[in-house]
A = this chain, B = another copy of it.
Amino acid sequence: MRTDGKATIKDVAKLSGVGIATVSRVINGNYPVSDAVRAAVWAAIDQLGYRPNVPARSLKTRKSRMVGVVVADLSNLFFMQLVKGFEAELSRYNYSIIIAAHYEDPLREHDIVEMMLENDVAAIVTTTCQPDGAYFRGLAGTGVPIVLVDRVLNDFKTDSVSEDNLDASRRITRHLIEQGHRRIAVVNGTLTVSTSTLRHEGYLLALGEVGIPADPRYIVDAGNGTAFQATTKLLESLPRPEWPTAMYCTNNRRTEDTLHALMARGLSVPGDISVVSYGDISLPWMLETRLTHVDQDLLALGKRAGDLTVRRIRSGGEPMVEILRSEIVLGNSVRSIWESVDP
């Protein structure tokens, strides 16, 4: 066995006394090879510890088995659940994953995607933070499929898998209304990603349906800075009687921050303020409080994305758009306030 460098197909050919092409045939098993030769080749492969060089193979076949995955944050369970489901599906088809995080910086995402393209990925899957589809549209010439997961882009029609953010948001807001709430605050992020805008729209939609005017004072922007600060500011800027009776936090991070802010002021949920969340947070036990929330099945979302990606790589056709419906899980973080509301 050679201790330096790696064995190549040539080494195997030489050692087993056959041609280089025959070795290739044995490895790929796509052409008939005599039993004797096959055995000899495998023996040589074992002896040399030979491993086929995948990039070299890709170079020749013009087919890559690497998929680029772009998430917002590696240390956010939300995205990693997504990736876990995605990877589970992709590995079933022998694809590998190259991953990076854009941390909500469109330029960073741009650079990452460029890097992945240069690395000859078969497809790119991203939870994009692009403000629009301009960049991705310019990538059409590469022939590399772009799959959007979780977040979509209005002006870029491509394969995508996402939740029905608008309707789920409408439904959970509706739930608050049905429990008698009228002063409902929404704690949202920057309205540049589709999940934020759609959830915002869903909130407004629900209010509109029952004729509640949207009150700008209750629209909390946690886009810059934390929802902790935003919530604190909301409560401090308003006299207590005008406080919202319920708060709708549009993602898990913001829910944590908001709850934290409420706790810090000694407020109870739902005693003082009701809280609902888009997406669950991970502290069900130890607390009496169970969060009423939109239940996101990230694993499933990731798997669907994986499945769709493989299909897209294998064949062309119209963009496939999948929208998954999310159910609302009732906890006890919402108080019914029929008694205390005016008719």
Contact = CB atoms under 8 A, between A and B. Distances in A.
Interface of A: 1-6, 49, 51-56, 58-59, 64, 66, 73-75, 77, 80-81, 83-84, 87, 91, 96-101, 114-120, 138, 140-143, 259-260, 263-264, 282-283, 285-287
Main secondary structure of the interface of A (DSSP, over half): mixed
Contact of A74 (B3, B83, B118): B83
B3 A141 contact: yes
Contact of A286 (B5, B143, B263): B263
Contacts of A64: 55
Given A77-B75, A260-B285, A285-B264, A119 B142 contact: no
29 contacts: A3-B140, A3-B141, A4-B143, A6-B142, A49-B138, A49-B141, A51-B117, A51-B142, A52-B118, A53-B59, A54-B118, A54-B119, A54-B120, A59-B59, A73-B84, A77-B77, A84-B101, A87-B101, A96-B100, A96-B115, A96-B116, A97-B100, A98-B98, A260-B285, A260-B286, A282-B282, A283-B283, A283-B286, A286-B287
B55 A119 contact: yes
A98 B97 contact: yes
Contacts of A80: 74-75, 80
Counted per complex, copies of this chain come to: 2
Nearest to A269: B286
B81 A75 contact: yes
Contacts of A6: 141-143
